[in-house]
Amino acid sequence: MRVMPHQVKLSGFASGGTSMPPWAMASFAAYLAWNILWLASGKLPPSMLLAILGIPCPTTGVTRSLACLLHGDLRASLMWNPFAIPFLILLALSFHALSLAAVRKKELTLPKWMAAAWCAVLVLAWLSKFLLGRAYW
């Protein structure tokens, strides 16, 4: 009797397939188009959520926050978005984790702890936007 080796089928983007649902691809395409149109006109793109629904995105103000921080104004930085630094740290960690997965030809997914950290930081950042008020949207 001959034993066949077990084959592991890679799923997701690493294997060339797609596991992204159509609504997610359409949302991402709309997001890219929004940003490209604004950037092509020579302006920084405003938050889509704020422009369309009138509510802030959790990441609204991160660019202004980082600009204030680079100019040494910690108070203004924290007012624009107190979670700018945690966002940057999570972004770097996510990029590193996904890059390693891609190099190792594994499924491109974040570790569970990192996905939970993203959810927690996004929720806290969104709540902080409402607590700080419209002046910092």
Cα distance between residue 58 and residue 128, in whole Å: 8
Cα distance between residue 52 and residue 56, in whole Å: 10
Q: How sure is the predictor about 6, in pLDDT bands with cuts at 50, 70 and 90?
A: very low
Cα distance between residue 126 and residue 137, in whole Å: 11
Q: What is the mean pLDDT of residues 77-89?
A: 95
- What pLDDT score does 10 carry? 40
Q: What is the pTM of this model?
A: 0.69
- Within the chain, what is the greatest distance between any pair of CA atoms? 74
Residues 89, 91, 92, CA angle at the centre, nearest 5°? Answer: 65
pLDDT of 1 strictly over 70? no
- Residue predicted with more confidence, 56 or 6: 56
Q: How sure is the predictor about 124, in pLDDT bands with cuts at 50, 70 and 90?
A: very high
- What pLDDT score does 8 carry? 38
Rg of the Cα atoms in the chain: 19
